[in-house]
Amino acid sequence: MREALGRAYYRAGRFRQAAAEFEAVVESHHVDDYAHFCLGRALSMTGDKDRARHHLALASNLRPDRRDYRFYRRLLDA
């Protein structure tokens, strides 16, 4: 439920609210790669690049086969 709400907030451009929802998912599901990815994306849109890098790195490490995770991680490293 919180993931869906986070995605809706993200699509609506409400990145801080999206980040809060994805953070709640990550707190209860530590190895949810998609939640880490979405949290990283939302945080990057709020300007919190350091925390965004952390969560995008976690997502990339949990699912090294996901090119999109690596792509957004590299965007923040540039």
pLDDT tens digit string along 21-33? Answer: 999 999 999 999 9
| CB-based contact 40:55 (threshold 8 Å) | yes
Confidence of residue 46 (pLDDT cuts 50, 70, 90): very high
Average pLDDT, the chain: 95
Q: Where are the domains of the chain?
A: 2-77
Give the predicted TM-score (pTM) of the model. 0.93
Q: Cα–Cα distance between 4 and 49 in angstroms, integer?
A: 23
- Contacts of 28-33 with CB under 8 Å at 24 or more apart are 31/62, 33/58, 33/59, 33/62, 33/63, 33/66, 33/69
Q: Report residue 63: phi and psi, to 5°.
A: -135, 75
Superfamily per CATH, domain 2-77: Tetratricopeptide repeat domain (1.25.40.10)
